[in-house]
């Protein structure tokens, strides 16, 4: 049994080699909660070992975030650091790799008035847009990785003392990041190959739409013209093959922004904006979610008013209900993990790698533009998914939540 | 006797009210070592209480800094985050206040090859230039404040257990920031009035030069044409009166870049670039330091090659040898403090508030331009300072290190 320190070292290796595939002389910009400093240092060590030029951490403090929501008024909450996010976008475009270390209290903002959250997050999304664009255009190699933040662990295991809760969360995180396997890097290579086969299969079929059927769901998601499926390792515009998101269990592509019809119900709660949104229901006409309901969904629903593209889909992703994340049996209340336990949709911005061409051409082909990108889970062990050809014939892709191809 | 927590609260009040004079709706960008998070949170609380719109911390980790110097090669060390510093400059110009929380191991880089430090710091200075320009042009209200970093405390009190060492350092820091006084804000107002009187006196006299005499020193420092003395509270270009540097005990102005003659010896060691530089000796001709020597001065001497202005003076400052910082009897190995225990000079960039006019006019008047600004201490209880008029007559300003005006 390896010590926590040894497994953090292995996780850092997986992040730098598999997640980022960091290149010699490359700069690495990473965002992390201050509690993650031990992992940050491990990642920096692995990065410098590979010849990184500079590891620049941008550390955040949940206590400050919460304090601001409590003390600042609505007008003050409209401020967001555009100068920082434009700087980040520039860094990515100039070659810096990006790592996001994720973790924190999913219910941090639970006592905050929803209009405060909505105002602040809209300003945040607007200011962050240049950075989100750079990432959605896949200009550089990047990944996200979870960290067992104490406040997060306490929420997941309220019955355990904090230290035990953190250890339990780490166990789950090492499982889903394959760090508990004999050779984690080799395990990721094998997994990336399997995802690559699914991607190839789907790209060859060139389906016109996907059809989801399950409890509370009967949804047809048209796919963008010339859409490209992605999953696992992929090549960024800077030529580097990286694995965005650790873990990643999905294959995903771009819906057609004007061709989504039917209704769909979320299969898992969604942690969004420091709140836990439940029972999301959406009905689509002509690609637009003309009706959306949710429990504790004030900030979520408000985000869907961000711009014209916010109520349209930017991503559809297929994940088997038996994925390693699902197998932990945990609801993590962290999208990075929960979206890898179930097929999902995202409102908002589509990824450039899913639709060929310039941003204008992407929109013509049905790609979506928005300053938001919010994933939510719709897949379950009761969900069936078919691929539809333009002539209406169909192919079974998933039955009872599992791949049948 | 107040608790540490109570005194941190008071220090934060002094920082926000006296140091920054933070305005309602103003953004605050602060830099701090991660160990300073408890003070960061206090400052954020005080800032939000005054109506700040956003407190954005940029936290650094000495462990990462050291790791980079140890693991990255010379080529990699040439990388510096220009995108971040240009972003900072933009934030300041767009109205954000700036706070620097200072503290760390003054000998952090002692084992690192000097050429590595020189290469990295030159790249750093070049990238940081836009931010330094914004600060030296005083575009926004700003201040610096020290924090009792454990590694710093251990260096100052190696004979004490860490916790005691940190407490001893805090005692000294609360003393010099006047937090130990009955009403710290009132104490600062009184002190700022005294500095204001010295400034008025010196600005009325319009000296042509200053003359320093002391052990190893016989130096005539010509002053820039139309030079303005500053000290204590001052008005930034955004109209806000702030107190840059907590503590501050100096009155200072701009030397004439071409009229410095004679020789001078440092009176205290200087912590620069993670090393402790001792026994600095400089001989000036026509404003240029034509000869500079120093012990452990590799990085320091290398910095003086940064550009044409790096070997010229950008600041001359008068501090009585009995200042509260000097009275602690400690050598802090942190310029923010040590420069407020002794009269000092700075190589490099002059401050815009010391020379009227546009950047071009400032240079014509004898202001200096450089990407560096390095203060070093020359005053001692044996130093005499005279003010010289253009006709050669002189006025005694300091005798045996103390003001005589
Ligand atoms: Zn996805
Ligand atoms: Zn997504
Ligand atoms: Zn000074
Ligand atoms: Zn200075």
| pLDDT tens-digit map of A341-398 | 999 999 999 998 899 999 899 999 999 999 899 999 999 999 999 999 999 999 999 9
Residue A331 lies in a domain: yes
Residue B274: pLDDT band (50, 70, 90) is confident
pLDDT above 90: residue B118: no
* C-alpha to C-alpha distance for B49 and B44, rounded to whole angstroms: 8
Range of the structural domain that residue A8 is part of: 4-180
The residue of chain B nearest to residue A74, with distances taken between CA atoms, is: B53
pLDDT above 90: residue A298: no
Q: Are residues B211 and B148 in the same domain?
A: no
* CA-to-CA separations, A386 to A84, A210, A224, A382, B384, in angstroms, rounded: 43, 6, 17, 13, 90
pLDDT above 70 coverage of chain B, percent: 100
In contact, A235 and A241? CB cutoff 8 Å: yes
Q: Are residues B171 and B210 in the same domain?
A: no
Phi-psi region at B322: left, alpha or beta (left = phi > 0; alpha = psi -120 to 50): alpha
* C-alpha to C-alpha distance for A217 and A343, rounded to whole angstroms: 12
Residue A238 lies in a domain: no
Residue B236 lies in a domain: no
> Does B76 contact A52 at a Cβ distance shorter than 8 Å?
yes
Q: Are residues A141 and A209 in the same domain?
A: no
Cα-to-chain-centroid distance, residue A55:
23
> Does A54 contact B80 at a Cβ distance shorter than 8 Å?
yes
What integer is the mean pLDDT of B134-153?
96
Higher pLDDT, B299 or B47: B47
How many domains does chain B contain in total? 2
pLDDT above 90: residue A205: yes
pLDDT above 90: residue A95: yes
Please give the distance, rounded to the nearest whole angstrom, from the Cα atom of residue A213 to the centre of ligand 1: 19
Q: What is the mean pLDDT of chain A?
A: 96
Residues in chain A: 405
At B239, list the tokens. 């109209």
% helix, strand, coil for chain B, step of 5: 40, 25, 35
Kindly identify the ligand whose nearest atom is closest to the C-alpha of A379.
1
pLDDT above 80: residue A34: yes
Distance spanning both ends of chain A, measured CA to CA: 37
pLDDT above 70 coverage of chain A, percent: 100
Residue B335 lies in a domain: yes
Q: What angle is formed at CA A294 by the lines to CA A101 and CA A377, rounded to 5 degrees?
A: 45
Q: What angle is formed at CA A167 by the lines to CA A163 and CA A173, rounded to 5 degrees?
A: 145
Residue A187 lies in a domain: no
Residue A128's Cβ-count burial label (10 Å; 0-12, 13-18, 19+) is buried
> Does A44 contact B59 at a Cβ distance shorter than 8 Å?
no
What integer is the mean pLDDT of A268-278?
90
Residue B275: pLDDT band (50, 70, 90) is confident
Please give the distance, rounded to the nearest whole angstrom, from the Cα atom of residue A332 to the centre of ligand 2: 16
Cα dihedral A397, A403, A404, A405 sign:
positive
Q: Are residues A303 and A212 in the same domain?
A: yes
Q: Crossing angle for the helix pair A114-136 and A82-93, nearest 10 degrees? A: 20
In contact, A335 and A394? CB cutoff 8 Å: no
DSSP string, A183-215: SHHHHHHHHHHHHHHHHHHHHHH--SEEEEEET
Kindly identify the ligand whose nearest atom is closest to the C-alpha of A346.
2
* CA-to-CA separations, A227 to A286, A314, A376, B224, in angstroms, rounded: 18, 12, 21, 67
- Smallest CA–CA separation between A280 and chain B, in Å? 32
Alpha helices per DSSP H over A273-334: 298-303, 324-327
Is B74 near chain A, with CB under 8 Å? no
Predicted pLDDT of residue A118: 87
Please give the distance, rounded to the nearest whole angstrom, from the Cα atom of residue A1 to the centre of ligand 2: 35
Q: Crossing angle for the helix pair B184-205 and B4-14, nearest 10 degrees? A: 40
Residue B18: pLDDT band (50, 70, 90) is very high
Please give the distance, rounded to the nearest whole angstrom, from the Cα atom of residue B318 to the centre of ligand 4: 11
Q: Are residues B215 and B324 in the same domain?
A: yes
Q: Are residues B290 and B321 in the same domain?
A: yes
What integer is the mean pLDDT of B124-151?
95
What integer is the mean pLDDT of B342-362?
94
From chain B, the residues in CB contact with A57 under 8 A are 59-61, 64
Q: Are residues A20 and A143 in the same domain?
A: yes
Instruction: Please report the beta strands in B209-332, taking only residues with DSSP state E, as ranges in sequence order.
Output: 209-214, 217-223, 230-231, 234-235, 241-242, 251-253, 255-265, 270-272, 275-285, 288-295, 313-318
Q: Which of B40, B86, B96 sits opposite A87 (nearest CB)?
A: B86
pLDDT above 80: residue B1: no
Q: Which of B9, B76, B123 is most worth mutating to test chain A (most A CB atoms within 10 A of its CB)?
A: B76
What integer is the mean pLDDT of A173-193?
97
At B22, list the tokens. 């933070």
The residue of chain B nearest to residue A28, with distances taken between CA atoms, is: B81
Residue B320: pLDDT band (50, 70, 90) is very high
What integer is the mean pLDDT of A195-219?
97
The residue of chain B nearest to residue A43, with distances taken between CA atoms, is: B64
Place of tokens 């130990």: B180
From chain B, the residues in CB contact with A51 under 8 A are 72-73, 76
In tens, the pLDDT along B64-111 reads 999 999 999 999 999 999 999 999 999 999 999 999 999 999 989 989
What integer is the mean pLDDT of A129-144?
94
Predicted pLDDT of residue B356: 93
Predicted pLDDT of residue A299: 86
What integer is the mean pLDDT of A206-232?
97
Q: Are residues B157 and B207 in the same domain?
A: no
- Residue in A327, A319, A323 with CA at minimum distance from that of residue A377: A319
Q: Are residues A94 and A44 in the same domain?
A: yes
* C-alpha to C-alpha distance for B166 and B270, rounded to whole angstroms: 21
Residue A123 lies in a domain: yes
Q: Are residues B50 and B163 in the same domain?
A: yes
Q: Which of A55, A71, A75 sits opposite B64 (nearest CB)?
A: A55
CB atoms within 10 A of CB B391: 7
Is B81 near chain A, with CB under 8 Å? yes
Contacts of residue A187, Cβ cutoff 8 Å, sequence gap at least 6: A178, A181
Cis before B173? omega within 30: no
pLDDT above 80: residue B316: yes
DSSP string, B305-339: TSSGGGGSEEEEEE--TTSHHHHTT---S-HHHHT
At A106, list the tokens. 């999913």
pLDDT above 90: residue A155: yes
* C-alpha to C-alpha distance for B254 and B352, rounded to whole angstroms: 9
In contact, B152 and B103? CB cutoff 8 Å: yes
Residue A338 lies in a domain: yes
Residue B236: pLDDT band (50, 70, 90) is very high
Place of tokens 């005080």: B46
Q: Are residues B146 and B12 in the same domain?
A: yes
Residue B338: pLDDT band (50, 70, 90) is very high
Predicted pLDDT of residue A274: 80
Higher pLDDT, B6 or A118: B6
CATH at residue A37: 3.40.1830.10
- Residue in A257, A315, A261 with CA at minimum distance from that of residue A283: A261
What integer is the mean pLDDT of B319-345?
95
> Does A48 contact B68 at a Cβ distance shorter than 8 Å?
yes
* C-alpha to C-alpha distance for B375 and B336, rounded to whole angstroms: 9
Residue A196 lies in a domain: no
* C-alpha to C-alpha distance for B233 and B231, rounded to whole angstroms: 6
Residue A322: pLDDT band (50, 70, 90) is very high
In tens, the pLDDT along B243-261 reads 999 999 999 999 999 999 9
Please give the distance, rounded to the nearest whole angstrom, from the Cα atom of residue A347 to the centre of ligand 1: 11
Residue A32: pLDDT band (50, 70, 90) is very high
Instruction: Please report the beta strands in A34-127, taking only residues with DSSP state E, as ranges in sequence order.
Output: 54-60, 97-102
A180: helix, strand or coil: coil
**B:26-55 residues touching chain A, CB 8 A cutoff:** 27, 29, 34, 37, 40-41, 44-45, 48-49, 51-55
- Residue in A33, A273, A276 with CA at minimum distance from that of residue A145: A33
Residue B120: pLDDT band (50, 70, 90) is very high
Q: Are residues B30 and B173 in the same domain?
A: yes
Instruction: Point out the least confidently predicted range of A45-49, A62-66, B48-52, B133-137.
Output: B133-137
At A41, list the tokens. 């240092």
- Smallest CA–CA separation between A101 and chain B, in Å? 15
């Amino acid at each position: 049994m390896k010590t926590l320190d040894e497994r953090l070292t292995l996780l850092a290796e997986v992040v730098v080699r598999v997640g980022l595939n960091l290149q010699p002389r490359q700069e690495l910009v990473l965002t992390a909660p201050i509690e993650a400093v031990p992992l940050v240092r491990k990642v920096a060590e692995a990065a410098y070992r590979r010849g990184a030029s500079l590891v620049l951490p941008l550390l955040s403090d949940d206590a400050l975030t919460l304090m601001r929501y409590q003390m600042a008024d609505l007008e003050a909450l409209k401020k967001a650091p555009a100068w920082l996010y434009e700087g980040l976008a520039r860094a990515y475009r100039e070659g810096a790799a990006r790592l996001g270390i994720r973790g924190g209290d999913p219910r941090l903002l639970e006592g905050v008035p929803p209009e405060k959250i909505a105002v602040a997050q809209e300003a945040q999304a607007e200011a962050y847009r240049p950075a989100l664009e750079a990432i959605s255009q896949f200009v550089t190699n990047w990944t996200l990785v979870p960290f067992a933040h104490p406040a997060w662990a306490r929420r997941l295991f309220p019955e355990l003392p904090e230290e035990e809760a953190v250890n339990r969360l780490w166990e789950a995180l090492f499982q889903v990041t394959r760090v508990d396997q004999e050779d984690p890097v080799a395990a990721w290579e094998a997994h990336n190959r399997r995802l690559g086969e699914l991607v190839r299969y789907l790209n060859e079929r060139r389906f016109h739409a996907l059809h989801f059927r399950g409890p509370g769901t009967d949804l047809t998601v048209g796919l963008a013209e010339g859409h490209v499926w992605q999953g696992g390792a992929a090549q960024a515009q800077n030529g580097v093959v990286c694995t965005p998101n650790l873990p990643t269990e999905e294959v995903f592509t771009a819906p057609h922004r004007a061709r989504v019809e039917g209704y769909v119900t979320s299969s898992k709660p969604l942690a969004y904006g420091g709140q836990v949104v439940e029972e999301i229901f959406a009905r689509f006409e002509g690609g637009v979610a003309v009706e959306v309901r949710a429990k504790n969904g004030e900030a979520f629903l408000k985000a869907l008013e961000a711009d014209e593209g916010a109520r349209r889909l930017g991503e559809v992703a297929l994940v088997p209900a038996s994925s390693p994340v699902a197998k932990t049996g945990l609801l993590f209340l962290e999208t990075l993990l929960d979206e890898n336990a179930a097929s999902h949709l995202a409102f908002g911005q589509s990824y450039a790698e899913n639709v060929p061409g310039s941003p204008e051409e992407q929109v013509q082909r049905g790609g979506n533009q928005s300053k938001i990108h919010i994933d939510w889970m719709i897949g379950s062990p009761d969900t069936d998914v078919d691929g539809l050809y333009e002539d209406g014939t169909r192919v079974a892709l998933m039955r009872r939540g599992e791949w049948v191809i």
